[in-house]
């Protein structure tokens, strides 16, 4: 099984499960991943998602180059379309997605993490978009998502040099949100996911929508997007539940309605 997936108390956990090849991404893994994401996209029991890699060496070392060497040009194009579509699906999920980087995150591995909402890194983690050293460029969103996250200057440095950055440097650049001891990474990611999942699902989805779609527009348009997203939350039962719980001095119980 190239991908392990489980749901525990509202938290979906995806584990890239090819540790023998540093969790490199091949067509079988992508196909399985795409199918699970499509199912979870509409599953109201999944409130937040954590993505990590099997073993302690890598989140993902990127595309499986051994498989890539066997592909014909048309098959390479099909692979690129599948990986782009899959990472775009990650980004478009209504649930918040946390990448727990438990080792190397290179090439497509880092591009996967960039499509997530939040990135936590183990102290031993290292990451980079190393494609130019292989005669190609980042082809699964890296040239677009990385500069939006850390700025064009630093993104160009990473892409043009193909060098790896350590967890602390990545944190300083804003590439990862937080660095934690290796042994605490999974627990930290689950704890953050639980904190997110405790909030109203519709509000989470609309907040994510507003941020994602407001990034590439002018402020006035962004504020209009925010206003429309707010309007979606107004008639929900969860909003009434939050007000009632506040009045009754208890924690709200959100249902996603």
Clarify whether residues 50 and 133 are in a common domain. Answer: yes
Residues 130 and 83 in one domain: yes
- Determine the pLDDT at residue 63: 87
Clarify whether residues 232 and 160 are in a common domain: no
Q: Tell whether 207 and 80 lie within a shared domain.
A: no
What is the chain's mean pLDDT, rounded? 95
Show the tokens assigned to 137. 């460029």
Query: What span, in angstroms and rounded, lies between the C-alpha atoms of 209 and 123?
Result: 31
DSSP-derived letter for residue 87 is: H
Confidence of residue 66 (pLDDT cuts 50, 70, 90): confident
Q: What is the pLDDT of residue 138?
A: 95
**Would you say 53 and 15 are in contact if contact means Cβ atoms under 8 Å apart?**
yes
The structural domain count of the chain equals 2
Chain-centre distance of CA 117, in angstroms?
A: 5
Question: According to the model, what pLDDT value does residue 67 have?
Answer: 86
Residue 140 and residue 24 share a domain: yes
pLDDT for the residue 68: 81
pLDDT of 193 reads 98
In whole angstroms, give the CA distance from residue 61 to residue 48: 24
Same domain, 184 and 151: yes
70-77 mean pLDDT:
87
Q: For 170-209, how does the pLDDT look when each residue is reduced to its tens digit (9 = 90+)?
A: 999 999 999 999 999 999 999 999 999 999 999 999 999 9
Active site (catalytic) residues:
63, 108, 111, 131
- Tell me, what CATH number does 159's domain have? 3.90.226.10
The confidence score (pLDDT) of residue 72 equals: 86
Query: Tell me, what's the pLDDT at 211?
Result: 96
Q: What residues contact residue 139 under an 8 Å CB cut-off, 6+ apart?
A: 80, 83, 84, 131
Query: How many other CB atoms are found less than 10 A from the CB of residue 226?
Result: 17
Tell me: do 59 and 156 sit in the same domain.
yes
- Could you tell me the pLDDT band of residue 216, with boundaries at 50, 70 and 90? confident
d(CA 176, CA 174): 5
Sheet of 165-166, strands arranged across: 58-60, 104-106, 126-128, 165-166
CB 120 within 8 A of CB 177: yes
**Full domain range(s) for residue 179:** 3-197
In terms of domains, do 160 and 182 share one?
Answer: yes
Model confidence at 48, in pLDDT bands (50, 70, 90)?
A: very high
Q: Is the pTM of this model over 0.85?
A: yes
């Amino acid at each position: 099984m190239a991908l392990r997936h489980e749901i525990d108390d509202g938290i979906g956990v995806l584990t890239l499960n090819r540790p023998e090849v540093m969790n490199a991404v091949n067509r079988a893994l992508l196909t399985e991943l795409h199918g699970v994401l499509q199912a979870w996209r509409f599953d109201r029991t999944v409130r937040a998602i954590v993505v990590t890699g099997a073993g302690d060496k890598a989140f993902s070392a990127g595309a499986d180059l051994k498989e890539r060497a066997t592909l014909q040009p048309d098959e390479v194009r099909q692979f690129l379309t599948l990986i782009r579509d899959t990472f775009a699906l990650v980004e478009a999920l209504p649930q918040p997605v946390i990448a727990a980087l438990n080792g190397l995150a290179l090439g497509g591995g880092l591009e996967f993490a960039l499509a997530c909402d939040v990135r936590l890194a183990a102290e031993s983690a290292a990451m980079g978009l190393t494609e130019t050293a292989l005669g190609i460029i980042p082809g699964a969103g890296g040239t677009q998502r990385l500069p939006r996250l850390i700025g064009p200057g630093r993104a160009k440095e990473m892409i043009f040099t193909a060098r790896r950055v350590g967890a602390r440097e990545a944190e300083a650049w804003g590439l990862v949100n937080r660095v934690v001891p290796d042994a605490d990474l999974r627990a930290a990611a689950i704890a953050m996911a639980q904190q997110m999942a405790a909030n109203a699902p519709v509000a989470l989805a609309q907040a994510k929508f507003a941020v994602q779609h407001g990034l590439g527009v002018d402020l006035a348009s962004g504020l209009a997007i925010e206003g429309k997203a707010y309007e979606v939350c107004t008639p929900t039962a969860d909003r009434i539940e939050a007000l009632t719980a506040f009045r009754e001095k208890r924690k709200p119980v959100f249902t996603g309605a």
